[in-house]
């Protein structure tokens, strides 16, 4: 119900993202192997009183659905709940259907939204039928996300299907080398989702995130993070809701860990990311002229990009202020 959401937001209006005039507090570095994390803090941001649910929690509970359309680069998603906003994040992989897909834009859908179109890219080259006992017309889960700058840029900036396929293949090759074994699934060798579920990859991820997985829960005012791989800032995400960040943290951290695992062969001993590097990323991104795009359901996307950085800011008529900022260092 829109009135219920409005009432909740009246108690805790989402605040605008940090800008130069009010720099955020940054903590860290927190490090595990070649992955470094800095947390972004905002004690004024709202928490659980804002009624967000994420796609990965909504799908298995029956509060959301993702449908095939017959178009490889377009799916339909709907919010089936009665009183909660559905936050859908670009970069999430939906598993199943006729091919696994990666969502290329954020959406915020109101309760009872009906079917809403979303642009996607295939992350499983070749399959166009049901896989095993998975339904061919719907998607059952969204608990993985793409990893690596090449893949993220191909899906979000270049918007290139061939670029996505090339980046998936490259990521699989780098992960295979890093874990010392084949990571392609026999039932669908091109599936990035199944590669991320591979036993050796999953074990490497668990070891990589062991010291970092509780960071979001232990820092209640954290609203986002910036991460570095091999001592170089790679990107990150900042949200207007503390609760939304905590919900997404396991998947955000896992994606960052996958990138770090794949890049272990490129490690150097001299580089170390600093808080100044984080502030430089945020201020540089804020200074780039933005291009505004109107998406379904009253969602707006502002893209800022130069030769060094791609930054994406998602807003919505459902709420006040930006909901999500994503950064990718090229």
Report pLDDT digits (tens) over 176-223: 999 999 999 998 999 999 999 999 999 999 999 999 999 999 999 999
What integer pLDDT is reported at residue 97 of this predicted model? 94
Pick 197 or 46 by higher pLDDT: 197
Is the alpha carbon torsion for 285, 287, 292, 298 positive or negative? positive
What integer pLDDT is reported at residue 128 of this predicted model? 87
What integer pLDDT is reported at residue 44 of this predicted model? 86
Distance, in Å, from the CA atom of 33 to the CA atom of 18, rounded to the nearest integer, reads: 29
In a domain, 58, yes or no: no
Q: What is the mean pLDDT of the chain?
A: 91
CA triple 106-110-113, angle to 5 deg: 95
Pick 77 or 271 by higher pLDDT: 77
CA triple 103-150-265, angle to 5 deg: 130
In a domain, 221, yes or no: yes
Average pLDDT over residues 288-310: 96
Q: What is the pTM of this model?
A: 0.91
In a domain, 125, yes or no: no
Task: Note the residue count of the chain.
Answer: 330
**How many domains, the chain?**
1
Q: Please count the helices (runs of H) and the strands (runs of E) in the chain.
A: 9, 17
Q: What residues form DSSP beta bridges with 96?
A: 139
What integer pLDDT is reported at residue 282 of this predicted model? 97
Residue 269, pLDDT above cutoff 70: no
Contact 79, 112 (CB under 8 A): yes
Q: Pairing mode, if any, of strands 74-79 and 35-41?
A: unpaired
In a domain, 84, yes or no: no
In a domain, 134, yes or no: no
Distance, in Å, from the CA atom of 312 to the CA atom of 327, rounded to the nearest integer, reads: 7
Contact 104, 158 (CB under 8 A): no
Distance, in Å, from the CA atom of 315 to the CA atom of 322, rounded to the nearest integer, reads: 5
Distance, in Å, from the CA atom of 324 to the CA atom of 107, rounded to the nearest integer, reads: 10
What integer pLDDT is reported at residue 51 of this predicted model? 81
Average pLDDT over residues 125-144: 88
In a domain, 173, yes or no: yes
In a domain, 85, yes or no: no
**Which tens digit of pLDDT belongs to each residue from 215-245?**
999 999 999 999 999 999 999 999 999 999 9
Please name the residues in contact with 96: beta carbons below 8 A apart, sequence gap of 6 or more: 131, 134, 135, 136, 138, 139, 140, 141
In a domain, 265, yes or no: yes
Domain of 275 in residue numbering reads as 2-49+145-329
DSSP element (H, E) containing 239 = strand 232-239
Nearest to 296 by CA among 110, 64, 111: 110
Residue 17, pLDDT above cutoff 60: no
């Amino acid at each position: 119900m829109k009135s219920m959401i409005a009432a909740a937001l009246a108690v805790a209006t989402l605040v605008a993202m940090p800008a130069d005039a009010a720099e955020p507090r940054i903590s860290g570095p927190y490090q595990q192997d070649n992955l470094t994390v800095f947390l972004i803090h905002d004690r004024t941001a709202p928490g659980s009183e804002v009624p967000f649910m994420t796609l990965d929690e909504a799908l298995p509970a029956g509060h959301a659905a993702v449908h095939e359309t017959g178009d490889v680069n377009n799916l339909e998603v709907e919010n089936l709940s009665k009183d909660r906003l559905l936050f859908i994040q670009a970069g999430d992989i939906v598993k199943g259907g006729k091919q696994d897909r990666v969502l290329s834009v954020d959406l915020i859908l109101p309760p009872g939204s009906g079917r809403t179109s979303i642009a996607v890219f295939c992350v499983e080259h070749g399959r166009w039928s049901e896989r095993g006992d998975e339904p061919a017309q719907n998607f059952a889960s969204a608990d993985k996300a793409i990893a690596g700058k090449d893949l993220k840029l191909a899906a979000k900036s270049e918007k290139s299907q061939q670029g996505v396929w090339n980046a998936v293949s490259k990521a699989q090759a780098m992960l295979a080398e890093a874990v010392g074994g084949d990571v392609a699934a026999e039932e669908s060798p091109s599936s990035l989702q199944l590669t991320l579920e591979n036993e050796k990859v999953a074990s490497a991820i668990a070891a990589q995130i062991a010291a970092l997985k509780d960071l979001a829960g232990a820092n209640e005012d954290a609203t986002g993070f910036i991460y570095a791989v091999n001592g170089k800032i790679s990107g990150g995400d900042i949200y207007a809701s503390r609760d939304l960040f905590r919900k997404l943290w396991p998947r955000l951290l896992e994606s960052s860990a996958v990138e770090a695992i794949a890049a272990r062969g490129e490690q150097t001993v001299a580089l170390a990311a600093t808080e100044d590097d984080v502030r430089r990323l945020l201020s540089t991104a804020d200074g780039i002229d933005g291009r505004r795009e109107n998406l379904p359901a009253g969602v707006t996307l502002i893209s800022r990009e130069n030769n060094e950085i791609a930054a994406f800011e998602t807003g919505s008529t459902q709420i006040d202020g930006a909901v999500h900022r994503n950064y990718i260092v090229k």
